[in-house]
Structure 1
Amino acid sequence: MSAPFARTAPADGGSSVLDTVHGRTVPDPYRWLEDGESTATRRWLEERRREFTEAARGWPMRERLAADITRLLDHDLWSPPLLRGGTAFATLRSPGDEHPRIVALDGGAERTVYDPVAADPGGRTTLDAWEPSPDGSLVAVQTSRGGTERGELQVLRTCDGAPVEPPVPGVRYSHVAWLPPDLGGPAFFYARRDGTDGRRGLWLHRVAVPRGADTLVRACTGPRTVPGVRVLGGRWLLATESHGTGHRNDVWIADLRAVPADAPAWIPVQEGLEAETTADLGPDGMLYLRTTLDAPRRRICAADPAAPSPEGWREVVPEDPEAPLDGFTAVGTPDRPELLVARTRLGVSSLDAHDARDGRRLHAVGLPGEGMVTRLEQGPDGAAHFCYADVATPQGVLLLDPGSARPRPWPSPDAGGRPPSPAARIRRRVLRFRSADGTRVPLTLLSAPESDPGEDGPLLLHAYGCFGRPRQFGFSATVLAWLRAGGRYAVAHVRGGGDGGRDWHRRGARRDKPRAVEDLIAAADALVAEGHATRDRLCLTGGSAGGMLVLAAAGLRPDLCAAVISSAPLTDMARFERMGLGRMWTREFGTAADAGDFAALLSYSPYHLALDGAARRGPAVLLTGFHSDTRTGAAHPRKMCAALQGAGAPALLRYERDVGHGQRAVSRAVALAADAHAFAAERIGLRPRSGGR
């Protein structure tokens, strides 16, 4: 393996800090690195940049991985179309494009409405959200710059892409819900969650009306909630408010045809309940609700939108005790309404059609393989569009006609569409292991049969385990490039994620978050014990909250593996509420204000485990950080790198400016993925092959 990384002495950018929290002394010697713009921090980051550049220069897999990832991305990437006023709108990223663009399709002719690269040739502007008006003449486009994810809404003319007014500021991944044209307009409802003027909530914006005339139609009930808005069926205004990321929300509905749009009369659909509910309007005029109320793996109920309280809900599709219900859409006709229901079993989707009146399963929808169904959307004339991808097949859009069990590609080949095809054969196996408390936890192991180097070859073990999100096996050019190069890839479906529904999530959240770390440690141990891996050929990998998880596992068990990749992680769990969006995540991790929560947080906090000195005996670590990260906050990887290097551990930091936690230009995404996996290849022994791809 390669030589140890360069060590740096504890930095001298400021004095060490000792906090006393709940009677406990907590050291924080690198707090000065929380100031990302200080001279000391900039100097320190420049030293880390030189370290990384020097180390990466010697990784032989770097160029090969970058080239293969780029080849695997060489296809059209469409979003499901939205039909407005006779025009179909979608996003399209063609081969070679840095970002997707919005296109309008009229009679088969494709016209670009908005291209973020044309607006910003430097590639720093991302398209965050968009929604065409009901008649298709306008498109509301939300963009942000430099990775901050704090953006603005622009209203553009469809015919030429020209703006019709100054942008609306202060938005972050806002829903946009256009007012039906016969109720006045053009106008739309949108969510303002950053609170630039101190008022957060749902607003009505009338296009081309002087600034300052937006009307607040529903204020947020608290500082840590996330608002959302939709218009259903051209009549019903639906408002939601999520309580952080705790899988609990409140839902209200208002009849736009009963009162003026700027003064909706809100009727509670769900309020004050420990449940998460989403809604759709069926062709029969009924409100269909996907909910965790009395169903941890979710069920679908029906309600009269004029009297929608839970007391009147009628169960249509019951909970499946083995598979969470991930998505649905209402399709069909008023006299034959149907529900398309997507469920996920350990990362693999199924799609079924149900009779919306009595819930009967009508048929299974045939899918191209064992993959992931996402973005179910109502289509024209009772049809539906959705996205499908699997480990070997890039994402494509499929069209399902009413009553059919066989979807077909969209756009059709006759219209110039090129449906993605599998890029490789992948072997998928599901294993189960016992965690520290005896719980059986599933693990998925992937390999490419034609290039499998053996049962104990280089293996990446990935985990996320937070916010109730299931791990789904869609397409990743990065993972596929790793498999094609002869590596193997495993996913531990640890508690805290959503693979077993809401209960599985809760069993690895808040004070039980250490269970998720224990599950990951047990997964690594099981892979070694059963002969699927050796310690020196095993690398843990995770991003964001999953980046915290892999660092915590390695911090608690320094002998666990040879390497760790941690991208944009949380690391200082004593202060996570003070960085990025951490204040929104107390339902997931707990709060330092509570003594019991704080004790649990410190028990697995990667930063504090590194400060305790065990890291010097641990694996090599690659951290990635993004200066404009407003989610987890860029201070976390900075402080973690300093703590690891200060303890004498082999650690590198790959740090970027002008990008954040979310979307980025394709070339920058490829470079990041190639660097991270070339690091893993170097540390766990994946080598280029002569005559390879």
Structure 2
Amino acid sequence: MSARAVHGGLVLPADGRAEPEAVVDTVHGRPVADPYRALEDPESPATLAWLAEREREFAAAAATWPLRSSLASGIRGLVAADLWSPPVRRGGAVFATRRDAGAEHPRLVVLADGAERVLFDPVAFDPSGGTTLDAWEPGPDGALVAVQTSRGGTERGELRVLSAATGLPVEEPVRGVRYTHVAWLPDPASPAFYYVRRDDGDGRRGVWLHRVADARGRDAADVLVQPAGPRSVPGVRLRRGRWLLVSHSHGTGHRNDLWIADLAASAPEAPRLVPVHVGADCESEADVGPDGLLYLRTTLGAARRRLCAADPAEPGTGHWREVVAEDPGATLDGFAVAGAGDGTEVLVTRTRLGISELTAHDPRGIRPPRRVPLPGEGMVTRLEPDEDGSAHFCYADVATQQTVLTCRPGDPEPARWPAAAAPPRPSRVRRRTAWCRSADGTRVPVSVFSLRGFDEPRPTILHAYGGFGRPRQFGFSATVLAWLRAGGRYAVAHVRGGGDSGRDWHLRGARRNKVRAVEDLVAAGDALVAAGHCTRGQLCLSGGSAGGLLVLAAAMARPDLCAAVIASAPLADMVRFERLGLGAMWTAEFGTVADPGDFAALLAYSPYHRALEQGRRDLPAVLLTGFHGDTRTDAAHPRKMCAALQEVNGGARPVLLRYERGVGHGPRAVTRAVDLAADAHAFAAAQTGLSPAR
């Protein structure tokens, strides 16, 4: 046994590489090999020993990358700015989060009587830096605040109710929540709120009512208001202190059910939920405006979404009136109803090929729509109404940090919030839209960014996501800007499967059509080379999560396409994805192995299996990242993919795994985020020949 060691069934040769096992499943009559099944156990001695070897490999390689320290320094400098969230006004106080320049995490602060104080600081709460502030919501009079935290990147958290006066908890935390919505009831004398449970661990999925413990510490048992199925994601909002809105999203197919209840006519523990639409093939998001109307952003009759209004007492689809029509060239992302009376305006944000537009509409149709000017070509997010009649939103672009802006009905342009915040600076980044033609003839847009023009080929990162109907929007990225400043180009392929061109664009790259998204990305890479933006030796594919799946599948289909691939927290084993992480929730997006047709489609592009089936060959350099606390795309995916690629790699370019503990798929401390971004892009620079001198 001097040449190798055996740990729990996984054989480790002397070089620390995993040796394949004879694990074969028979699926719909077809044998499917899974030689690295043992790496699904994250804590087995074999997996730990294997990971230790991968960590040594990565450290040795990273030490040779010339731009690693300069990129880290550049990214760190770019993120060193005060960042605010949009404010929430309650009971004369204003609540917001602020991440100070140089701080690791944002802190929740309260502004009242001209003074600012910290209400919750994740670092003070947990000096290790492993706790993140995931969500928060103040009560109706601002006396209490619900704060959700999680540790180690798991996104499985606790919901604490804090006193806004002292910052101390007033009761034991509510456990088993994950990015929950919190909807406070309007009576501060008897504080209570609705919240949602999304984790399957305790079988308590659904919308719940929680009454805050009284002064003597007594608390009532939480009441299940509406259960949710294992593959439905519940949501809850309470608007105008009266109207309860409950939704169930079904998987990731852009379809939900929606109900409304009038709490003036039913008890909070048993709200009389009236269907808005149930069982319809559409997705709607609802709000109740200051004019008392129910507003709905919906895909019903509009693949790129439209905005409708109805009487909340008669919410069915037969009573809807169109307020803002569908735009055939842009996707309606969000809305907020601001103002009051005749001055009421509906602010609407749309995305057109990654760039946001903001318009204001008269819900009565009397005044013509008006364009709300933005600081540049960027992204609008978190558009929310304020109780003072204004609306707040975040703006960012490729070269501009997130800025909070406030818009009041009739104002010619938005104002900065807070007023002392630095104004956005004009971007010097140039953008071009290129087009490629995919394997089935579909034209796919590709956005290309550069600081140095487009006169010659340059090292280029080509990013894609292509999943869950999410459009690619161009907000601020210190990593991208540092790459551009170093002389590189950055491109985004708006592939099918994403939401860049509406719901139809998503569905044309989902489930059995997912291979179309892969073909779109391959076509985008070929088009960048053909147009002279880069050579093949200067091209690096990059994607995370569902995008990591996409770039790995493209590289397995066309190993000659590029010089390098960055796959961050990717899906890779598409035969077992339903057994790992949140995969069982994603069958509407990818299909299910239980269906023979879906299984055939999954196996056809599954990167893990494509790598194993095609045998030894030259591969592009590959950097996989995995996060031990990842409860979404389980870190078994990058572990198994790394082992498979190292087995079949017949070329000289490296296959590396950068693996982290204490973090997951979601937010992390700034230092860890900077280090991850710098490492990934230093790898890309080393493989594509990028240097500041070029």
TM-score, scaled relative to structure 1: 0.96
User: Matched residues, percent identical?
Assistant: 67
Aligned to 1:432: 435
Aligned to 2:93: 87
Task: Describe the SS at the equivalent of 1:518.
Answer: helix
Give the gaps of 5 or more residues in structure 2: 1-12
1:7–1:520 distance in 2 versus 1, CA, 3 Å: farther
Is residue 371 of structure 1 aligned with residue 378 of structure 2?
yes
Aligned to 1:543: 544
Aligned to 2:224: 216
Aligned to 1:679: 683
Aligned to 2:328: 321
Is residue 488 of structure 1 aligned with residue 495 of structure 2?
no
Q: State how far apart, in whole Å, the 2-side matches of 1:329 and 1:7 are.
A: 61
Task: Describe the SS at the equivalent of 2:560.
Answer: coil
- What is the count of residue pairs matched by the alignment? 676
Provide, for residues 204-247 of structure 1, a one-character-per-residue CA deviation record: whole Å limited to 9, x for no partner. 11111545611111111x21111110001110011011001111
Provide, for residues 151-203 of structure 1, a one-character-per-residue CA deviation record: whole Å limited to 9, x for no partner. 01000011121010110001000000000117x62111000111443221111
Q: Contact 1:90/1:102 (CA < 8 Å) preserved in 2?
A: yes
Q: State how far apart, in whole Å, the 2-side matches of 1:428 and 1:548 are.
A: 26
Is residue 253 of structure 1 aligned with residue 254 of structure 2?
no
1:65 maps to amino acid:
L
Q: Contact 2:351/2:357 (CA < 8 Å) preserved in 1?
A: yes
Aligned to 2:391: 384
Q: Contact 1:134/1:180 (CA < 8 Å) preserved in 2?
A: yes
Question: Which of 155, 160, 166 is the aligned partner of 1:160?
Answer: 166
Task: Describe the SS at the equivalent of 1:553.
Answer: helix
Q: Contact 1:282/1:330 (CA < 8 Å) preserved in 2?
A: yes
Q: State how far apart, in whole Å, the 2-side matches of 1:304 and 1:491 are.
A: 42
Q: State how far apart, in whole Å, the 1-side matches of 2:480 and 2:615 are.
A: 30
Q: Contact 1:563/1:619 (CA < 8 Å) preserved in 2?
A: yes
Q: Contact 1:511/1:600 (CA < 8 Å) preserved in 2?
A: yes
Which residues of 2 match residues 48-67 of structure 1 at below 5 A?
48-67=54-73
1:614–1:448 distance in 2 versus 1, CA, 3 Å: farther
Question: Which of 238, 241, 265 is the aligned partner of 2:245?
Answer: 238
Is residue 198 of structure 1 aligned with residue 199 of structure 2?
no
Task: Describe the SS at the equivalent of 2:76.
Answer: helix
Question: Which of 176, 185, 188 is the aligned partner of 1:179?
Answer: 185
Is residue 129 of structure 1 aligned with residue 135 of structure 2?
yes
Q: State how far apart, in whole Å, the 2-side matches of 1:78 and 1:10 are.
A: 46
Q: State how far apart, in whole Å, the 2-side matches of 1:453 and 1:320 are.
A: 31
Once the two structures are TM-superposed, the CA of residue 379 in structure 1 deviates from its matched residue by 2.0
Aligned to 2:145: 139
Once the two structures are TM-superposed, the CA of residue 612 in structure 1 deviates from its matched residue by 1.8
Task: Describe the SS at the equivalent of 2:369.
Answer: strand
Q: State how far apart, in whole Å, the 1-side matches of 2:346 and 2:204 are.
A: 38
Is residue 464 of structure 1 aligned with residue 465 of structure 2?
yes
Aligned to 1:229: 236
Q: State how far apart, in whole Å, the 2-side matches of 1:17 and 1:196 are.
A: 29
Aligned to 2:118: 112
Once the two structures are TM-superposed, the CA of residue 360 in structure 1 deviates from its matched residue by 5.3
Once the two structures are TM-superposed, the CA of residue 45 in structure 1 deviates from its matched residue by 0.2
Provide, for residues 550-606 of structure 1, a one-character-per-residue CA deviation record: whole Å limited to 9, x for no partner. 000000001000000000000000000000000000000000001111111011101
Aligned to 2:7: none
1:65–1:600 distance in 2 versus 1, CA, 3 Å: same
Task: Describe the SS at the equivalent of 1:88.
Answer: strand
Q: State how far apart, in whole Å, the 2-side matches of 1:192 and 1:658 are.
A: 23
1:686 maps to amino acid:
L
Q: State how far apart, in whole Å, the 1-side matches of 2:388 and 2:570 are.
A: 45
Aligned to 1:23: 29
Aligned to 1:280: 287
Once the two structures are TM-superposed, the CA of residue 632 in structure 1 deviates from its matched residue by 0.7
Q: State how far apart, in whole Å, the 1-side matches of 2:495 and 2:201 are.
A: 38
Task: Describe the SS at the equivalent of 1:252.
Answer: strand
TM-score, scaled relative to structure 2: 0.95
Is residue 645 of structure 1 aligned with residue 652 of structure 2?
no
1:336 maps to amino acid:
G
Question: Which of 43, 50, 53 is the aligned partner of 1:47?
Answer: 53
Q: State how far apart, in whole Å, the 2-side matches of 1:379 and 1:78 are.
A: 16
Q: Contact 2:24/2:33 (CA < 8 Å) preserved in 1?
A: yes
Q: Contact 1:558/1:615 (CA < 8 Å) preserved in 2?
A: no
Q: Contact 2:294/2:312 (CA < 8 Å) preserved in 1?
A: yes
Is residue 669 of structure 1 aligned with residue 660 of structure 2?
no
Aligned to 1:507: 508
2:679 maps to amino acid:
D
Q: State how far apart, in whole Å, the 1-side matches of 2:201 and 2:569 are.
A: 26
Aligned to 1:3: none
Question: Which of 425, 436, 443 is the aligned partner of 1:421?
Answer: 425
Provide, for residues 27-76 of structure 1, a one-character-per-residue CA deviation record: whole Å limited to 9, x for no partner. 00000000001000000000000000000001110000000001101111
Task: Describe the SS at the equivalent of 1:181.
Answer: coil
Aligned to 2:450: 447
